[in-house]
Every structure is written in structure tokens, then in C-alpha cells.
Amino acid sequence: MHPTAAPERIPTEHAPGSATTDHVTPTHCPYCALQCGMGLVRGAGGVEVVERPAFPVNGGALCGKGRTAPAVLSSRVRLTEPLVRSRVSGELEPAGWDEALDRIAEGFARVRGEHGADACGVFGGGGLTNEKAYALGKFARVVLGTSQIDYNGRFCMSSAAAAGTRAFGLDRGLPFPLADVARTGCVILVGSNLAETMPPALRYLTELKENGGTLIVVDPRRTRTAEQADLHLAPRPGTDLALALGLLHLVVAEGRTDEAYIEERTTGWEEARAAAMAHWPEYVERVTGVPVPQLRDVVRLFCDAEHAMVLTARGPEQQAKGTDTVSAWINLCLATGRPGRFLSGYGCLTGQGNGQGGREHGQKADQLPGYRKLTDPAARAHVAGVWGVDPDSLPGPGRSAYELLDALGRDVKSLLLMGSNPVVSAPRAAHVEERIRSLDFLVVADVVLSETARLADVVLPVTQWAEETGTVTNLEGRVLLRRRAVDPPGGVRSDLEVLHGLASRLGHGEKFPVVAEEVFEELRRASAGGVADYSGISYGRLREGDGEGVFWPCPQEGEGTQEEGTHRGTPRLFLERFATEDGRARFVAVAHRDSAEETDAEYPVVLTTGRVLSQYQSGAQTRRVEELNAAAPGAFVEVHPRLAARLRVADGEAVAVVSRRGRVVVPVRVTSGIRADTVFMPFHWPGEGRANTLTHPALDPVSRMPEFKVCAVRVERVERV
């Protein structure tokens, strides 16, 4: 087996240490896309988290998930040896690594031989490091020869990515550092509850207000974030598109457009303006439930500010019209001259830990490293040259995430799954679970025995954040180095070692190094010249100073060494030109349309889903942390007091929430902080409280994002037995 890097440590100067060591390893939180800086200290009592005040994104602040992250390193809660499903008992049983890898190689070779390469599927995750995401995409296309690869990041911000690409020619969640948010004059925050999903980022909104700026929050719930707002708009879920168009209508009607900017820096304005003018304020009020005076207040506050931003998140994006919805918000920004100007613009708050980098380097169905298009002959030739293969051997684009999951057991007979738990996280989850169970062969590589891993034929225990070195790219486009701080348990291997072992058995082992820095060096060459160009970034640069990272694009400059000829990185995009062929941003004409599933007499209430402070994503890891479980022990549904009165239920009593796709039973939380026509459920739990049993799999036609945020349900009282 190839060696892995030893834990990296630097002397501790300002951070507190433990009683048994004076060294701290600088690293980053394993959870959300803030990638908060932290330090890890190994002491007699285990691994301790310490602050890294010098890291600019969080300034040392951490949420409860970050502080307790070392709990999942414990062998008591995680996988420590491979498991193989017995052909006799049908149960998962411990096995050696050679037996497990041999079984996997045989399984994929058999499926490929009997059904063709595209019968082999690969499903990745937005939490994988850049090196893992890159290697996984390469493995699918070079070793398996399959087009059937996608990842759970499709469920995160694909709509914003699609909208940003067609408007600006480039998708980077935030085209400016987070610090700019605190210095602007007005922020419209659409569908984000930062106080619970990214608590350390809330300080930027607090500083915004302390600096005299204005915060406007758009959310159907009065969340902890909405409570901080100067103005809170609570539209009916699924009507964000109409809301944005109504605001643009008012901007035009009140003569607040920036005509010089539109003329100099954009195209497509006439069509977008005509589309917006069909959404007059009174119509928008009827559709959204937001009063016309509030619409006018938003326009006044946003346009009167010298600098202003719109930030979107999952609320408007996780819809079957999410791309058009984000485009409408971008149009509002363009019409008022915001994008590409200092302290102004549009940005998307990426959710998953490496949601940004995870889609840049090849695990997405239609992309090659460097955010290149798989259909571009020049891109195929460049990447194939780095990989040492014939460009014609690379398969074309495959299915998007939900479409791939829906094809399991039908066209796709086997699946390699890394870093995801779709049994809990996918829409129409009961159907997805059924499709996964129908596979001929399922392999899961994970840290814990997740609900999906329990269904596998082979389960591989892999290293996690503190046990491996690798890079991630946070929501700002800041490439960061996570450093190995501790040794993994003896029976655990890295995902890179897994891919190397499988590639070796299938005839391509020499193409898959196991040392993360070697993989990154190859990634740099593969990304060179692409939209997401990392070629000027090296591990040496990422280790420098306080480890603040480097913003992409960062091309390699000059003919000298890395140190002599390196680009400084690009913290702020579009200040001179957009990434389109002519350098101009594109307005996109869009119009409001109904959600895929509207309410009716049988299903009269709208369900929307989201997260809570103490759990993360499918909960596979956070549900194993005692402190986090104590704070958020299980699923629930929020209902308005008027709905609770109609149902004759009190706080804490059980109700059934029923959609056309299934039924869940959860305790009720009665709150006036939600619309009376809407209920809310977090999606972190499996079993009878699994929110995604209910959600709709309708897909956005551009991004292929499922409609997580809107579906029709009814709520029923559950009679006591």
C-alpha cells in the first residue's frame, strides 16, 4: 500500500494547547461551505478543537457542529473495517481489504461485461475534497468508461450555478469575499437562514447593520435570521420568481434603472424588461402574499443604497423553476448596475463543505476538470492529454443526480457511492430507496454506516477530514488546505487509496496516485486554461502565512518556478469585464409560472423543507454526536396556530403529514413564525420522520434541481391509541 502523509503540525503561538502538547494543526471544519478555520490539538483526552482567529472567514468563531466535529473521529461511532454482504446469511460481515476490493472489481467487471459500461454508475458528494472529486470523475470515465456519474451537489446550488453561468459566463458562488457583505449598503437575503445553517457568517450581517446598512430577508418563515432584518418579506413558497419580477417592474416604473451601466455592460435588456413589466405590483401581491407597500419599500432601500447586493440560497434555488428564479434576481441586480462593481453584486451562498470545488473538477455529469464542458472537443482533448487517454474514449454527458438514482436497477445495474446518503437526502426518498435496493451491486465508501450504506453489498471505511490532507474550495471561491492532524484507525483507508486499489484491479492503477498533493498537481494541469483555473495554486502556496487560501481563477503565469511566476488569485470577479465572449453580462427574460404541484382541496397546505442549527444534511454524522442530538433529537413539523387550532392539536402532539408520495408522522411545533398556509420540516432524519418521503422530484429544465422547497400536503391529527 502506498504511504500517506504524516500529520502536519506547526508550533502554537497564540492558540491554546492541551496539557500534553504545544502543537496545533491548522485545518478547516468538515461541515458547511464557510470552511471555518480551526486548529486541532492532540492531547491525552483525545482531539481538541482550538480557535484560529487569524483565518479571515470566521475569525475564530465556530458553531456547535464545528466545535464537536472530533466526536465523529471516535471508533465508537464510525466504520473501522470493510463489510461484505455474506452470500450465505445475507448480512454485512467484516472482511479484509483485499477481499472487499476484489469483490468490487469483480462486481463492476461483471456488470460492465453483461450490460455495457453505462450500466455502471458513480455517485459522489459535495463534501469530497477537490482531489477526491477529481479522482472520482476520472475513475468513472477512464476505468469504468461510464457516462453515468453525478453527485449530491446537484441538490445544493445547481440552479444558481446555471443562472450565474448564463448571466456572467462563470459560476462561482460568491464573486467577492464575504467581508464585502459587511461593507455594502443593502443586502437582500433570499431563502437563507444563516443564523442556523452558517452561524459564524451571521456576523457579516450584524456588521452590515452596525455600519449603517440595511438587511432585507425573504423567507416564508420568521427565522432567527429574519428576526435580524430591517424588513422581512414572507412570500408563499414557490413564488420567489414572481416576487423578483415584481421588484424589477417597480424599478422600471419608478425610473430607477442604471441606463449607462445597462448600455455599457449588458445585453438582452429589452426582452427582460418586457417580461418583468407583465408582473405588476397588485398581481405580485396576489401571487406571493407580499403587500405592495413592502415591495415598494424593498425597491427604495435597495436602489437608494450606493452599494447593494442580492444573496440567494436554497429557498429560491431548490425549485423546478430555480434557474429562472435566480435569473430574475440577477436581472434586478443588473438593471440597477450592481454586478461587477466594488461592494455590490449578486452572489449565491453555497451549502455543502466543498459544494463549490466539488462541481468544478469532474464529478458532475456534464463536466471535466476546470469547469470544462464535456461536450467541448478542445476540453476533451486537453483533459485526455493530461490523463494519457484518447479523447474519443471519454464518454459524453450522463444523467443528472435524481435521474441517475431513478435509473438504478433498470439501466444502471451497479453503483459506487462516495460521500452521500440519498436514502435520506434525495427527493421522493422512498422511491429512491426502492431503486437502490433493486441494484445488482452497490458499493458505499463512507465514514459511518449510513442508511444507504446499510443496503450495500460492500461497505468501505474511509478516512475523514482530520485524518487526511486535501484541498476544498469554500463559498467565496477560496481554495484552502485541510491538513492531516491525526492517524486514522488501522482498518481505514483514504478514498484515493480505494480508487487506486480498484483501478489497479481493473487495469489502470498507474493513473491513480494516492498522495493528495500528487493528485492536486495533476488537477492543476487538467484545470489549466479552464474556467476554474487552479494551475497557479500549489500546496506550498496554500501552506503559506496563516493559510488564508487562494481565490480562483488563478492561472500559472511566467516560465519560472511556482514561486517566481504565480498569479495572485482573483478575490473579486467581473470588475473589468464578465466572463462571456464579449465581456457583457446577459439579461435573461423569464416569467412566473406555477410550481410543479399546487395545493388543492385534498392537499391544501404547502410543505417547505430545510435545516436546523444542530444537524447537518442527512445527519449521518451529526446524529452520532451526543451534544448535537440533545439539542435536536428528532424530526418535527412547524405549523401556524390557526392550522393547529383547525386540527385540534397542541405543541408536541403527533400529526401525520401526507403528500402524493408518502406519509410521515412527527410531533408538531406550533409557531406564529410561519405562514398559515405553509408547514416546515427539517430533512435530517430517516424513518417515519423522513421529510424527503414527501418531497417532489420535479426537475428544473436547466439545472436538473429537484423541487425540494415546494410540495402540496395535508396535515392530519394522529389519534391516541
What is the percent of the chain where pLDDT is above 90? 93
Region 680-692: what's the mean pLDDT?
97
Res 56: pLDDT:
95
Region 660-688: what's the mean pLDDT?
97
Alpha-carbon distance of 297 to 218, in angstroms, equals 13
Helix (H) or strand (E) holding 160: helix 158-168
Could you report the per-residue pLDDT of 346-369, keeping only the tens digit for each?
999 998 989 999 999 999 999 999
Measured in whole angstroms, how far is the alpha carbon of residue 41 from the centre of its chain?
28
Measured in whole angstroms, how far is the alpha carbon of residue 17 from the centre of its chain?
33
Could you report the per-residue pLDDT of 362-417, keeping only the tens digit for each?
999 999 999 999 999 999 999 999 999 999 999 999 999 999 999 999 999 999 99
**Is the Cα torsion angle 517, 519, 525, 530 positive or negative in sign?**
negative
Helix (H) or strand (E) holding 310: strand 308-312
Res 78 pLDDT > 60? yes
Alpha-carbon distance of 600 to 347, in angstroms, equals 35
In the numeric block, which cell numbers belong to residue 304? 437608494
Res 720: pLDDT:
57
Domain spans, the chain: 10-73, 83-155+354-514, 158-349, 605-717
Res 9: pLDDT:
41
Torsion angles phi and psi, residue 566, rounded to 5:
-110, 130
Q: Which pLDDT band, with edges at 50, 70 and 90, does 560 fall under?
A: very low
Res 77 pLDDT > 70? yes
Q: Helix axis angle, 495-505 relative to 97-115, nearest 10°?
A: 60
pTM: 0.94
Q: b/e per residue, 352-365, with b = 16+ CB within 10 A?
A: bbbbbbbbbbbbbb
Alpha-carbon distance of 484 to 347, in angstroms, equals 31
Could you report the per-residue pLDDT of 420-455, keeping only the tens digit for each?
999 999 999 999 999 999 999 999 999 999 999 999
Could you report the per-residue pLDDT of 639-666, keeping only the tens digit for each?
999 999 999 999 999 999 999 999 999 9
- Based on its alpha-carbon atoms, the radius of gyration of the chain, rounded to whole angstroms, reads 25
Res 45: pLDDT:
77
Torsion angles phi and psi, residue 537, rounded to 5:
-105, 135
Nearest partner of 597 among 223, 237, 136, judged by Cα: 237
Nearest partner of 127 among 523, 452, 421, 443, judged by Cα: 421
CATH of domain 605-717: 2.40.40.20
Region 174-195: what's the mean pLDDT?
97
Is the distance from CB of 146 to CB of 506 less than 8 angstroms? no
- At the topology level, CATH places domain 158-349 in Dimethylsulfoxide Reductase; domain 2 (3.40.228)
Alpha-carbon distance of 427 to 425, in angstroms, equals 7
Could you report the per-residue pLDDT of 568-621, keeping only the tens digit for each?
999 999 999 999 999 999 999 999 999 999 999 999 999 999 999 999 999 999
Strands of the sheet containing 10-11, edge to edge, are: 10-11, 23-28, 37-43, 46-51
Helix (H) or strand (E) holding 346: strand 345-348
Q: CB-based burial of residue 109 (10 Å sphere; 0-12 exposed, 13-18 middle, 19+ buried)?
A: middle
Res 3: pLDDT:
43
Q: b/e per residue, 239-273, with b = 16+ CB within 10 A?
A: bbbbbbbbbbbbbeeeeebbeebbeebbebbeebb
Torsion angles phi and psi, residue 123, rounded to 5:
-130, 120
Could you report the per-residue pLDDT of 250-285, keeping only the tens digit for each?
999 999 999 999 999 999 999 999 999 999 999 999
Alpha-carbon distance of 354 to 617, in angstroms, equals 13
Alpha-carbon distance of 626 to 233, in angstroms, equals 36
Res 84 pLDDT > 50? yes
Q: Helix axis angle, 516-527 relative to 130-138, nearest 10°?
A: 70
Torsion angles phi and psi, residue 485, rounded to 5:
-115, -30
Res 23: pLDDT:
87
Measured in whole angstroms, how far is the alpha carbon of residue 121 from the centre of its chain?
21
Could you report the per-residue pLDDT of 606-645, keeping only the tens digit for each?
999 999 999 999 999 999 999 999 999 999 999 999 999 9
Could you report the per-residue pLDDT of 466-499, keeping only the tens digit for each?
999 999 999 999 999 999 999 999 999 999 999 9
Q: Which residues contact 582 (CB under 8 A, 6 or more apart)?
A: 267
Q: ∠ at Cα 445 (416, 518), nearest 5°?
A: 95
Res 558: pLDDT:
62
Could you report the per-residue pLDDT of 531-546, keeping only the tens digit for each?
999 999 999 999 987 7
Res 201 pLDDT > 50? yes
Res 12: pLDDT:
31
**Is the Cα torsion angle 129, 134, 137, 138 positive or negative in sign?**
negative
Could you report the per-residue pLDDT of 220-258, keeping only the tens digit for each?
999 999 999 999 999 999 999 999 999 999 999 999 999
Alpha-carbon distance of 459 to 449, in angstroms, equals 8
Res 8: pLDDT:
47
Res 14: pLDDT:
29
In the numeric block, the cell 464578465 is attached to 578
Could you report the per-residue pLDDT of 505-530, keeping only the tens digit for each?
999 999 999 999 999 999 999 999 99
Q: Kindly report the CATH class assigned to 83-155+354-514.
A: alpha beta
- Beta strand 706-707 pairing with 696-699: antiparallel
Region 182-194: what's the mean pLDDT?
98
The SS3 of residue 428 is coil
Domain 10-73 has CATH 2.20.25: yes
Q: Which residues contact 550 (CB under 8 A, 6 or more apart)?
A: 478, 479, 536, 537, 541, 542, 569
Mean pLDDT computed over every residue of the chain: 94
Res 393: pLDDT:
97
Q: Helix axis angle, 516-527 relative to 377-387, nearest 10°?
A: 150
Res 682 pLDDT > 80? yes
Nearest partner of 424 among 397, 453, 396, 444, judged by Cα: 453
